[in-house]
Structure 1
Amino acid sequence: MKRIFLLAIMATITLSSCVSKKKYAELEAQQQETQDRLNSATVKLNACLEDKRVTTTKLESLEDQVSTLKNTNSALLNNQGDLATLSKKGAENLERSLESMKEKDLQIKTMRDAINKKDSVTLALVTSLKGALGNINDEDIQINVEKGVVFVSISDKLLFRSGSYQVSNRAKEVLGKVAKVVKDKKDFEFMVEGHTDTDPISNSCIQDNWDLSVKRATAIVRILQDDFNVDPARMTAAGRSQYIPVASNDTADGKAANRRTRIVVLPKLDQFYSMIEDGMKKATENSK
Protein backbone atom coordinates (compact mmCIF):
# COMPACT_ATOMS: atom_id res chain seq x y z
CA MET A 1 0.00 0.00 0.00
CA LYS A 2 2.82 2.35 0.94
CA ARG A 3 4.60 1.56 -2.31
CA ILE A 4 1.47 2.37 -4.35
CA PHE A 5 1.15 5.67 -2.53
CA LEU A 6 4.76 6.61 -3.31
CA LEU A 7 4.33 5.71 -6.98
CA ALA A 8 1.24 7.94 -7.19
CA ILE A 9 3.15 10.88 -5.72
CA MET A 10 6.05 10.41 -8.19
CA ALA A 11 3.65 10.25 -11.14
CA THR A 12 1.94 13.46 -10.03
CA ILE A 13 5.27 15.30 -9.73
CA THR A 14 6.40 14.05 -13.14
CA LEU A 15 3.19 15.13 -14.88
CA SER A 16 3.18 18.59 -13.31
CA SER A 17 6.88 19.44 -13.72
CA CYS A 18 6.41 21.06 -17.12
CA VAL A 19 4.51 20.90 -20.30
CA SER A 20 3.78 17.60 -22.07
CA LYS A 21 5.49 16.57 -25.29
CA LYS A 22 2.30 17.43 -27.14
CA LYS A 23 2.17 20.88 -25.54
CA TYR A 24 5.85 21.43 -26.32
CA ALA A 25 5.23 20.49 -29.94
CA GLU A 26 2.38 22.98 -30.04
CA LEU A 27 4.69 25.68 -28.63
CA GLU A 28 7.31 24.86 -31.26
CA ALA A 29 4.66 25.12 -33.97
CA GLN A 30 3.48 28.41 -32.50
CA GLN A 31 7.05 29.68 -32.48
CA GLN A 32 7.47 28.77 -36.15
CA GLU A 33 4.19 30.51 -36.98
CA THR A 34 5.36 33.58 -35.10
CA GLN A 35 8.67 33.56 -36.99
CA ASP A 36 6.76 33.38 -40.29
CA ARG A 37 4.64 36.36 -39.24
CA LEU A 38 7.79 38.21 -38.23
CA ASN A 39 9.31 37.57 -41.64
CA SER A 40 6.12 38.86 -43.28
CA ALA A 41 6.12 41.98 -41.10
CA THR A 42 9.81 42.60 -41.84
CA VAL A 43 9.16 42.36 -45.58
CA LYS A 44 6.25 44.77 -45.19
CA LEU A 45 8.40 47.22 -43.24
CA ASN A 46 11.18 47.06 -45.85
CA ALA A 47 8.59 47.60 -48.59
CA CYS A 48 7.31 50.63 -46.68
CA LEU A 49 10.77 52.18 -46.55
CA GLU A 50 11.44 51.38 -50.23
CA ASP A 51 8.08 52.81 -51.34
CA LYS A 52 8.78 55.97 -49.40
CA ARG A 53 12.17 56.28 -51.11
CA VAL A 54 10.58 55.80 -54.54
CA THR A 55 7.87 58.36 -53.74
CA THR A 56 10.46 60.90 -52.62
CA THR A 57 12.49 60.34 -55.80
CA LYS A 58 9.37 60.81 -57.94
CA LEU A 59 8.51 63.99 -56.07
CA GLU A 60 11.99 65.40 -56.66
CA SER A 61 11.72 64.49 -60.36
CA LEU A 62 8.39 66.33 -60.66
CA GLU A 63 9.84 69.39 -58.97
CA ASP A 64 12.76 69.35 -61.43
CA GLN A 65 10.29 69.16 -64.33
CA VAL A 66 8.32 72.11 -62.99
CA SER A 67 11.54 74.11 -62.63
CA THR A 68 12.50 73.24 -66.23
CA LEU A 69 9.06 74.27 -67.52
CA LYS A 70 9.28 77.58 -65.67
CA ASN A 71 12.68 78.25 -67.20
CA THR A 72 11.29 77.36 -70.64
CA ASN A 73 8.41 79.79 -70.25
CA SER A 74 10.75 82.53 -69.06
CA ALA A 75 13.00 81.95 -72.08
CA LEU A 76 10.03 82.11 -74.45
CA LEU A 77 8.90 85.41 -73.00
CA ASN A 78 12.40 86.88 -73.10
CA ASN A 79 13.06 85.77 -76.65
CA GLN A 80 9.73 86.83 -78.16
CA GLY A 81 8.91 89.87 -76.08
CA ASP A 82 5.33 90.79 -75.34
CA LEU A 83 2.75 87.94 -75.52
CA ALA A 84 0.92 89.79 -78.31
CA THR A 85 3.93 89.42 -80.62
CA LEU A 86 4.34 85.71 -80.14
CA SER A 87 3.88 83.59 -83.18
CA LYS A 88 0.94 81.23 -83.29
CA LYS A 89 3.25 78.25 -82.78
CA GLY A 90 5.03 79.89 -79.86
CA ALA A 91 1.72 80.73 -78.19
CA GLU A 92 0.52 77.13 -78.58
CA ASN A 93 3.78 75.81 -77.09
CA LEU A 94 3.49 78.20 -74.19
CA GLU A 95 -0.12 77.16 -73.54
CA ARG A 96 0.82 73.49 -73.50
CA SER A 97 3.74 74.22 -71.21
CA LEU A 98 1.51 76.10 -68.80
CA GLU A 99 -1.03 73.27 -68.74
CA SER A 100 1.69 70.69 -68.09
CA MET A 101 3.16 72.83 -65.31
CA LYS A 102 -0.27 73.24 -63.70
CA GLU A 103 -0.86 69.47 -63.74
CA LYS A 104 2.53 68.71 -62.22
CA ASP A 105 2.02 71.40 -59.56
CA LEU A 106 -1.24 69.70 -58.61
CA GLN A 107 0.47 66.30 -58.47
CA ILE A 108 3.22 67.65 -56.23
CA LYS A 109 0.65 69.27 -53.95
CA THR A 110 -1.29 65.99 -53.76
CA MET A 111 1.81 64.01 -52.84
CA ARG A 112 2.84 66.57 -50.25
CA ASP A 113 -0.66 66.56 -48.75
CA ALA A 114 -0.59 62.76 -48.47
CA ILE A 115 2.84 62.75 -46.84
CA ASN A 116 1.87 65.59 -44.49
CA LYS A 117 -1.32 63.77 -43.52
CA LYS A 118 0.63 60.59 -42.75
CA ASP A 119 3.17 62.55 -40.70
CA SER A 120 0.34 64.31 -38.85
CA VAL A 121 -1.28 60.99 -37.95
CA THR A 122 2.09 59.66 -36.76
CA LEU A 123 2.66 62.79 -34.65
CA ALA A 124 -0.82 62.47 -33.16
CA LEU A 125 -0.07 58.85 -32.25
CA VAL A 126 3.20 59.76 -30.54
CA THR A 127 1.52 62.61 -28.65
CA SER A 128 -1.29 60.31 -27.50
CA LEU A 129 1.16 57.63 -26.33
CA LYS A 130 3.34 60.10 -24.43
CA GLY A 131 0.25 61.61 -22.85
CA ALA A 132 -1.06 58.20 -21.77
CA LEU A 133 2.31 57.05 -20.45
CA GLY A 134 3.51 60.37 -19.09
CA ASN A 135 3.82 59.15 -15.50
CA ILE A 136 6.15 56.24 -16.39
CA ASN A 137 9.88 56.50 -15.66
CA ASP A 138 11.82 57.39 -18.84
CA GLU A 139 14.26 54.54 -18.11
CA ASP A 140 11.42 52.01 -18.20
CA ILE A 141 9.63 53.10 -21.39
CA GLN A 142 10.75 55.08 -24.44
CA ILE A 143 8.80 56.35 -27.45
CA ASN A 144 10.51 57.47 -30.66
CA VAL A 145 9.98 57.73 -34.42
CA GLU A 146 12.37 56.43 -37.08
CA LYS A 147 11.62 56.84 -40.80
CA GLY A 148 7.92 57.34 -40.16
CA VAL A 149 7.61 54.28 -37.88
CA VAL A 150 6.71 54.65 -34.18
CA PHE A 151 8.58 52.51 -31.65
CA VAL A 152 7.51 51.95 -28.03
CA SER A 153 10.26 50.20 -26.04
CA ILE A 154 9.38 48.82 -22.56
CA SER A 155 12.09 47.57 -20.20
CA ASP A 156 12.24 43.96 -19.07
CA LYS A 157 12.06 44.85 -15.36
CA LEU A 158 8.71 46.57 -15.87
CA LEU A 159 7.15 43.58 -17.63
CA PHE A 160 8.67 40.30 -16.40
CA ARG A 161 10.67 38.62 -13.68
CA SER A 162 14.15 37.42 -14.67
CA GLY A 163 13.98 34.42 -17.00
CA SER A 164 10.16 34.45 -16.97
CA TYR A 165 7.44 35.25 -19.48
CA GLN A 166 4.68 35.79 -16.90
CA VAL A 167 3.49 39.41 -17.21
CA SER A 168 3.43 41.44 -13.98
CA ASN A 169 0.36 43.34 -12.74
CA ARG A 170 2.29 46.61 -13.08
CA ALA A 171 2.95 45.74 -16.73
CA LYS A 172 -0.75 45.15 -17.37
CA GLU A 173 -1.46 48.70 -16.21
CA VAL A 174 1.04 50.04 -18.77
CA LEU A 175 -0.26 47.76 -21.53
CA GLY A 176 -3.80 48.94 -20.82
CA LYS A 177 -2.73 52.53 -21.50
CA VAL A 178 -0.99 51.53 -24.73
CA ALA A 179 -4.04 49.49 -25.81
CA LYS A 180 -6.39 52.43 -25.25
CA VAL A 181 -4.33 54.57 -27.65
CA VAL A 182 -3.75 52.01 -30.44
CA LYS A 183 -7.40 50.87 -30.45
CA ASP A 184 -8.41 54.40 -31.50
CA LYS A 185 -5.82 54.53 -34.32
CA LYS A 186 -7.40 52.35 -37.00
CA ASP A 187 -4.81 53.36 -39.63
CA PHE A 188 -2.05 51.43 -37.87
CA GLU A 189 -0.99 47.83 -37.32
CA PHE A 190 1.73 46.85 -34.88
CA MET A 191 4.27 44.17 -34.07
CA VAL A 192 5.29 43.14 -30.54
CA GLU A 193 9.00 42.17 -30.42
CA GLY A 194 10.70 40.33 -27.55
CA HIS A 195 14.42 41.05 -27.00
CA THR A 196 16.93 39.45 -24.59
CA ASP A 197 20.55 39.92 -23.50
CA THR A 198 23.29 37.40 -24.28
CA ASP A 199 23.06 35.44 -21.03
CA PRO A 200 22.08 31.89 -22.02
CA ILE A 201 18.94 30.32 -20.61
CA SER A 202 17.83 26.72 -20.76
CA ASN A 203 15.43 24.86 -18.52
CA SER A 204 12.59 22.39 -18.73
CA CYS A 205 10.18 25.01 -20.09
CA ILE A 206 12.42 27.45 -22.01
CA GLN A 207 14.86 26.13 -24.61
CA ASP A 208 16.97 29.26 -25.26
CA ASN A 209 16.82 33.05 -25.73
CA TRP A 210 14.91 32.63 -28.98
CA ASP A 211 12.27 30.69 -27.13
CA LEU A 212 12.12 33.20 -24.25
CA SER A 213 11.81 36.22 -26.55
CA VAL A 214 8.96 34.61 -28.52
CA LYS A 215 7.10 33.55 -25.38
CA ARG A 216 7.36 37.08 -23.97
CA ALA A 217 6.02 38.61 -27.20
CA THR A 218 3.09 36.20 -27.38
CA ALA A 219 2.34 36.81 -23.68
CA ILE A 220 2.02 40.55 -24.37
CA VAL A 221 -0.14 39.97 -27.46
CA ARG A 222 -2.50 37.68 -25.54
CA ILE A 223 -3.01 40.30 -22.82
CA LEU A 224 -3.70 43.04 -25.38
CA GLN A 225 -6.24 40.76 -27.05
CA ASP A 226 -7.86 39.06 -24.04
CA ASP A 227 -7.75 41.79 -21.40
CA PHE A 228 -8.06 44.92 -23.55
CA ASN A 229 -9.90 43.71 -26.68
CA VAL A 230 -7.28 44.79 -29.22
CA ASP A 231 -8.08 43.35 -32.66
CA PRO A 232 -5.71 40.35 -33.08
CA ALA A 233 -5.70 40.85 -36.86
CA ARG A 234 -3.75 44.08 -36.29
CA MET A 235 -1.00 42.40 -34.22
CA THR A 236 2.10 40.31 -34.89
CA ALA A 237 4.13 38.59 -32.13
CA ALA A 238 7.85 38.24 -32.84
CA GLY A 239 10.97 37.08 -30.98
CA ARG A 240 14.32 38.72 -31.81
CA SER A 241 16.39 36.92 -29.14
CA GLN A 242 19.74 38.62 -28.36
CA TYR A 243 20.64 39.71 -31.87
CA ILE A 244 19.47 43.34 -32.02
CA PRO A 245 21.08 44.93 -28.94
CA VAL A 246 20.83 48.63 -28.15
CA ALA A 247 23.81 48.56 -25.79
CA SER A 248 26.89 46.47 -25.03
CA ASN A 249 26.29 43.17 -23.26
CA ASP A 250 29.63 43.56 -21.45
CA THR A 251 28.03 45.48 -18.56
CA ALA A 252 25.03 44.90 -16.30
CA ASP A 253 23.47 48.21 -17.42
CA GLY A 254 23.91 47.27 -21.07
CA LYS A 255 22.28 43.89 -20.56
CA ALA A 256 19.38 45.53 -18.73
CA ALA A 257 18.85 47.89 -21.69
CA ASN A 258 18.86 44.97 -24.12
CA ARG A 259 16.22 43.03 -22.16
CA ARG A 260 13.14 44.77 -23.50
CA THR A 261 9.87 44.41 -25.36
CA ARG A 262 9.36 46.71 -28.33
CA ILE A 263 6.02 47.59 -29.93
CA VAL A 264 6.55 48.64 -33.57
CA VAL A 265 3.59 50.64 -34.90
CA LEU A 266 3.28 50.32 -38.68
CA PRO A 267 1.11 52.49 -40.95
CA LYS A 268 -1.30 50.70 -43.27
CA LEU A 269 0.45 51.33 -46.59
CA ASP A 270 -2.55 50.41 -48.74
CA GLN A 271 -4.54 53.34 -47.35
CA PHE A 272 -1.61 55.75 -47.72
CA TYR A 273 -0.93 54.96 -51.37
CA SER A 274 -4.62 54.79 -52.25
CA MET A 275 -4.86 58.36 -51.00
CA ILE A 276 -1.98 59.38 -53.31
CA GLU A 277 -3.51 57.59 -56.31
CA ASP A 278 -6.92 59.22 -55.73
CA GLY A 279 -5.27 62.61 -55.41
CA MET A 280 -3.31 62.10 -58.64
CA LYS A 281 -6.48 61.11 -60.48
CA LYS A 282 -8.34 64.23 -59.27
CA ALA A 283 -5.37 66.42 -60.14
CA THR A 284 -5.34 65.09 -63.71
CA GLU A 285 -9.11 65.59 -64.07
CA ASN A 286 -8.97 69.15 -62.72
CA SER A 287 -6.19 70.11 -65.09
CA LYS A 288 -8.23 69.24 -68.17
Structure 2
Amino acid sequence: MLRKEDSLKVREKNVNEISDKLRWREAKVAELQRILDSKDSVVKALKDNVTKALLGFNNNGLTIEQKNGKVYVSLEERLLFASGSTVVDPKGEEALKQLAVVLEKNTDINVLIEGHTDNVPIKGGAIKDNWDLSVLRATSVVRILTKNANVNPIRLTPAGRGEYSPIETANTAEARKKNRRIEVILTPKLDEIFQILE
Protein backbone atom coordinates (compact mmCIF):
# COMPACT_ATOMS: atom_id res chain seq x y z
CA MET A 1 0.00 0.00 0.00
CA LEU A 2 2.85 2.38 0.84
CA ARG A 3 4.44 1.69 -2.54
CA LYS A 4 1.22 2.63 -4.32
CA GLU A 5 1.05 5.91 -2.37
CA ASP A 6 4.70 6.67 -3.20
CA SER A 7 4.12 5.83 -6.84
CA LEU A 8 1.03 8.01 -6.86
CA LYS A 9 2.95 10.93 -5.30
CA VAL A 10 5.71 10.58 -7.89
CA ARG A 11 3.17 10.57 -10.70
CA GLU A 12 1.37 13.55 -9.21
CA LYS A 13 4.67 15.41 -8.94
CA ASN A 14 5.47 14.58 -12.59
CA VAL A 15 2.03 15.75 -13.70
CA ASN A 16 2.48 19.01 -11.77
CA GLU A 17 5.91 19.59 -13.34
CA ILE A 18 4.54 18.95 -16.82
CA SER A 19 1.60 21.28 -16.12
CA ASP A 20 3.98 24.00 -14.94
CA LYS A 21 6.09 23.60 -18.09
CA LEU A 22 2.99 23.76 -20.28
CA ARG A 23 1.78 26.94 -18.54
CA TRP A 24 5.25 28.48 -18.99
CA ARG A 25 5.26 27.56 -22.70
CA GLU A 26 1.75 28.90 -23.18
CA ALA A 27 2.82 32.19 -21.58
CA LYS A 28 5.85 32.37 -23.91
CA VAL A 29 3.69 31.65 -26.96
CA ALA A 30 1.22 34.36 -25.89
CA GLU A 31 4.09 36.81 -25.40
CA LEU A 32 5.53 35.95 -28.83
CA GLN A 33 2.11 36.43 -30.42
CA ARG A 34 1.76 39.82 -28.74
CA ILE A 35 5.18 40.89 -30.07
CA LEU A 36 4.40 39.59 -33.57
CA ASP A 37 1.08 41.47 -33.57
CA SER A 38 2.91 44.58 -32.41
CA LYS A 39 5.51 44.12 -35.16
CA ASP A 40 2.77 43.83 -37.78
CA SER A 41 1.19 47.09 -36.64
CA VAL A 42 4.64 48.76 -36.64
CA VAL A 43 5.24 47.56 -40.21
CA LYS A 44 1.84 48.84 -41.34
CA ALA A 45 2.44 52.23 -39.70
CA LEU A 46 5.88 52.38 -41.30
CA LYS A 47 4.41 51.64 -44.73
CA ASP A 48 1.79 54.35 -44.21
CA ASN A 49 4.47 56.88 -43.18
CA VAL A 50 6.68 56.03 -46.17
CA THR A 51 3.67 56.25 -48.50
CA LYS A 52 2.77 59.72 -47.17
CA ALA A 53 6.37 60.94 -47.41
CA LEU A 54 6.75 59.78 -51.01
CA LEU A 55 3.25 60.66 -52.22
CA GLY A 56 4.48 63.08 -54.87
CA PHE A 57 6.68 60.45 -56.51
CA ASN A 58 4.13 57.67 -57.11
CA ASN A 59 3.80 58.37 -60.83
CA ASN A 60 7.55 58.44 -61.31
CA GLY A 61 8.41 54.78 -60.99
CA LEU A 62 7.96 54.26 -57.27
CA THR A 63 6.06 51.44 -55.56
CA ILE A 64 5.65 50.65 -51.88
CA GLU A 65 4.39 47.33 -50.57
CA GLN A 66 4.25 45.39 -47.35
CA LYS A 67 5.10 41.67 -47.43
CA ASN A 68 6.72 39.09 -45.18
CA GLY A 69 6.89 41.51 -42.24
CA LYS A 70 8.87 44.10 -44.22
CA VAL A 71 8.24 47.24 -46.25
CA TYR A 72 9.60 47.25 -49.81
CA VAL A 73 10.21 50.60 -51.50
CA SER A 74 11.04 50.05 -55.16
CA LEU A 75 12.43 52.99 -57.14
CA GLU A 76 12.82 52.53 -60.87
CA GLU A 77 15.97 53.67 -62.62
CA ARG A 78 14.09 56.52 -64.35
CA LEU A 79 13.43 58.14 -60.94
CA LEU A 80 17.02 57.87 -59.71
CA PHE A 81 19.64 57.49 -62.43
CA ALA A 82 20.49 58.18 -66.04
CA SER A 83 21.24 54.98 -67.96
CA GLY A 84 24.53 53.44 -66.82
CA SER A 85 25.11 56.20 -64.23
CA THR A 86 25.69 55.98 -60.48
CA VAL A 87 24.88 59.66 -59.86
CA VAL A 88 21.40 60.17 -58.43
CA ASP A 89 19.24 62.66 -60.38
CA PRO A 90 17.81 65.70 -58.49
CA LYS A 91 14.26 64.26 -58.51
CA GLY A 92 15.53 60.96 -57.14
CA GLU A 93 17.59 62.75 -54.52
CA GLU A 94 14.47 64.60 -53.38
CA ALA A 95 12.58 61.29 -53.01
CA LEU A 96 15.48 59.81 -51.02
CA LYS A 97 15.58 62.88 -48.74
CA GLN A 98 11.89 62.34 -47.95
CA LEU A 99 12.56 58.67 -47.22
CA ALA A 100 15.52 59.62 -45.00
CA VAL A 101 13.23 61.76 -42.83
CA VAL A 102 11.01 58.72 -42.18
CA LEU A 103 14.05 56.52 -41.44
CA GLU A 104 15.40 59.11 -39.02
CA LYS A 105 12.17 58.95 -37.01
CA ASN A 106 12.05 55.12 -37.01
CA THR A 107 15.30 54.08 -35.35
CA ASP A 108 14.27 50.44 -34.80
CA ILE A 109 14.31 49.68 -38.52
CA ASN A 110 17.17 48.04 -40.41
CA VAL A 111 17.52 49.14 -44.02
CA LEU A 112 18.80 47.04 -46.91
CA ILE A 113 19.42 48.97 -50.12
CA GLU A 114 19.61 46.65 -53.14
CA GLY A 115 20.76 47.75 -56.56
CA HIS A 116 19.29 45.81 -59.50
CA THR A 117 20.14 45.98 -63.20
CA ASP A 118 19.02 44.45 -66.45
CA ASN A 119 21.00 41.79 -68.31
CA VAL A 120 22.49 44.05 -71.00
CA PRO A 121 26.30 44.05 -70.58
CA ILE A 122 28.07 47.31 -69.67
CA LYS A 123 30.40 48.52 -72.39
CA GLY A 124 33.52 50.56 -71.60
CA GLY A 125 34.06 53.07 -68.82
CA ALA A 126 35.05 52.62 -65.21
CA ILE A 127 32.12 50.33 -64.37
CA LYS A 128 33.13 46.70 -64.94
CA ASP A 129 29.76 44.99 -65.21
CA ASN A 130 26.14 45.04 -64.03
CA TRP A 131 27.07 43.73 -60.62
CA ASP A 132 29.51 46.60 -60.17
CA LEU A 133 26.85 49.07 -61.34
CA SER A 134 24.27 47.70 -58.91
CA VAL A 135 26.63 47.95 -55.92
CA LEU A 136 27.74 51.48 -56.82
CA ARG A 137 24.14 52.63 -57.20
CA ALA A 138 23.17 51.15 -53.83
CA THR A 139 26.14 52.93 -52.25
CA SER A 140 25.09 56.23 -53.87
CA VAL A 141 21.65 55.86 -52.27
CA VAL A 142 23.20 55.12 -48.85
CA ARG A 143 25.30 58.27 -49.07
CA ILE A 144 22.22 60.41 -49.75
CA LEU A 145 20.27 58.82 -46.89
CA THR A 146 23.08 59.50 -44.40
CA LYS A 147 23.92 62.97 -45.74
CA ASN A 148 20.41 64.39 -45.56
CA ALA A 149 19.14 63.08 -42.23
CA ASN A 150 20.42 61.71 -38.97
CA VAL A 151 20.20 58.06 -40.07
CA ASN A 152 22.76 55.90 -38.29
CA PRO A 153 24.93 54.24 -40.98
CA ILE A 154 25.09 51.05 -38.91
CA ARG A 155 21.42 50.48 -39.83
CA LEU A 156 22.11 50.68 -43.58
CA THR A 157 23.40 47.87 -45.78
CA PRO A 158 24.07 48.55 -49.47
CA ALA A 159 24.06 45.48 -51.69
CA GLY A 160 24.23 44.76 -55.39
CA ARG A 161 22.10 42.05 -56.97
CA GLY A 162 23.14 42.87 -60.53
CA GLU A 163 20.94 41.16 -63.09
CA TYR A 164 20.38 38.10 -60.89
CA SER A 165 17.10 39.00 -59.21
CA PRO A 166 14.84 40.25 -62.00
CA ILE A 167 11.19 41.22 -61.62
CA GLU A 168 10.58 40.26 -65.25
CA THR A 169 12.43 37.48 -67.04
CA ALA A 170 11.23 38.28 -70.56
CA ASN A 171 13.94 39.55 -72.88
CA THR A 172 12.07 42.72 -73.86
CA ALA A 173 12.79 46.43 -73.43
CA GLU A 174 9.84 46.74 -71.02
CA ALA A 175 11.09 43.84 -68.85
CA ARG A 176 14.63 45.26 -68.77
CA LYS A 177 13.23 48.66 -67.75
CA LYS A 178 11.38 47.11 -64.76
CA ASN A 179 14.51 45.25 -63.67
CA ARG A 180 16.64 48.42 -63.44
CA ARG A 181 15.75 49.60 -59.94
CA ILE A 182 16.77 50.22 -56.35
CA GLU A 183 14.86 48.36 -53.66
CA VAL A 184 14.92 49.75 -50.14
CA ILE A 185 13.84 46.98 -47.77
CA LEU A 186 12.80 48.12 -44.30
CA THR A 187 12.89 45.46 -41.59
CA PRO A 188 11.89 45.99 -37.94
CA LYS A 189 14.50 44.76 -35.49
CA LEU A 190 13.52 41.45 -33.93
CA ASP A 191 15.58 41.68 -30.73
CA GLU A 192 12.57 41.10 -28.46
CA ILE A 193 11.62 37.90 -30.27
CA PHE A 194 15.15 36.51 -30.14
CA GLN A 195 15.38 37.29 -26.41
CA ILE A 196 12.19 35.34 -25.74
CA LEU A 197 13.39 32.40 -27.81
CA GLU A 198 16.63 32.12 -25.85
TM-score interval (norm. to shorter): 0.7 to 0.9
Larger CA Rg, structure 1 vs 2: 1
Give 2:54's match in structure 1, choosing from 123, 133, 138.
Answer: 133
Unpaired segments ≥5 residues, structure 1: 1-87, 281-288
Q: Deviations over 1:40-73 (max 9, x none)?
A: xxxxxxxxxxxxxxxxxxxxxxxxxxxxxxxxxx
- 3-state SS, counterpart of residue 154 of structure 1: strand
Q: Is residue 62–residue 73 contact of structure 2 (8 Å, CA) maintained in 1?
A: yes
Q: Which residue number in structure 2 is paired with residue 149 of structure 1? A: 70
Q: For 2:162 and 2:23, locate their aligned partners in 1 and report how far apart those are by CA, in whole Å.
A: 53
Greater shift after overlay, 261-270 or 155-164? 261-270
Q: Which residue number in structure 2 is paired with residue 256 of structure 1? A: 177
Q: Is residue 35–residue 192 contact of structure 2 (8 Å, CA) maintained in 1?
A: no
Q: Which residue number in structure 1 is paired with residue 81 of structure 2? A: 160
Q: Which residue number in structure 2 is paired with residue 53 of structure 1? A: none
Q: Deviations over 1:92-142 (max 9, x none)?
A: 57x837655543332221121121122121111111111212232256111
Q: For 2:86 and 2:132, locate their aligned partners in 1 and report how far apart those are by CA, in whole Å.
A: 10
Residue 176 (structure 1) aligned with residue 102 (structure 2) = no
Unpaired segments ≥5 residues, structure 2: 1-7
More strand by share: 2
Q: Which residue number in structure 2 is paired with residue 37 of structure 1? A: none
- 3-state SS, counterpart of residue 263 of structure 1: strand
1:185 Cα deviation after fit: 1.3
- Change beyond 3 A, Cα 1:135–1:108: same
- CA RMSD after TM alignment: 2.5
- 3-state SS, counterpart of residue 218 of structure 1: helix
Q: Which residue number in structure 2 is paired with residue 266 of structure 1? A: 187
Q: Which residue number in structure 1 is paired with residue 147 of structure 2? A: 226
Greater shift after overlay, 194-203 or 143-152? 143-152
Q: For residues 1-288 of structure 1, what are the structure 2 equivalents within 5 Å?
A: 96=16, 99-137=20-58, 140-274=61-195, 276=196
1:146 Cα deviation after fit: 2.8
- 3-state SS, counterpart of residue 34 of structure 2: helix
1:267 Cα deviation after fit: 2.7
1:161 Cα deviation after fit: 0.6
Q: Is residue 187–residue 267 contact of structure 1 (8 Å, CA) maintained in 2?
A: yes
Q: Is residue 32–residue 193 contact of structure 2 (8 Å, CA) maintained in 1?
A: no
Scaled by the length of structure 2, the TM-score of the pair is 0.84
Percent identical among aligned pairs is 37
Q: Is residue 140–residue 154 contact of structure 1 (8 Å, CA) maintained in 2?
A: yes
In the alignment, residue 151 of structure 1 is paired with which amino acid? Y
